[in-house]
Structure 1
Amino acid sequence: MLKSDINQIKNIDAIEKEYLTNELNAYNQNRIFYDINKLNKYTYLLPVVTNEMIKLLERKEYERVHDFADAVHNLPEFLVTDFWTADNYYKVYIKPYNKKWKDTFLCELKVR
């Protein structure tokens, strides 16, 4: 639907229109999410991640904020696709952050 909407915009440059359409092609728009149980199981992460980010920003730990944002940037994809398991997501994103900062953030993901 978004591609269709973009194509109907009159005051957008053709190159920009093509760029936007190509960017959307990177995502499989036919993919349907069926695992509501996974979403229910892990939505608790949203306020946990948000509160951690706020805490780091308040302490002005900007290098750590950068690393933390890098560690959690794919959290929405983890929540709504079957591409990531909790253990996989932990190993790829959270574990390196924890190792660098000697932290235990979201360690429960590796055993869920």
Structure 2
Amino acid sequence: MVEVTVHHDTVVFTVRGLHKVFAFKSELTVPRSHITEVRADPEAAKHIEGLRAGGTSVPGLVTAGTFYLDHQGSHKPSFIDVAKPENVVVITLRDEEYQQLIIEVDDPVEVVAQLATSG
């Protein structure tokens, strides 16, 4: 699971618990202005197919880490941290290492509202 915190002009995505080990990453910091879209999207977590470039994928249990997704059409990877698809938020980025974040959060509605008004 990922905790999302807005600090002025930046958003910090903190990977919690054992997911740090699964994802090979504990935190991402992104300028607010680099977030181009935010949406709650449980279906996105059900279609994670592609090349794992560091992380863990145990179908039905957890998918976490850096992935080059088949359907992306970009040379940039996505960062994924999902155990419960119903709590997934997809965040599209520009000018960042990752094209998008597909992350499980505690309250998707709250995170979408928070990031949609943070720019």
Q: Structure 2 length as normaliser, TM-score?
A: 0.25
Q: Which has the higher helix share?
A: 1
Higher relative contact order (CA 8 A, sep 6+): 2
Structure label with greater radius of gyration: 1
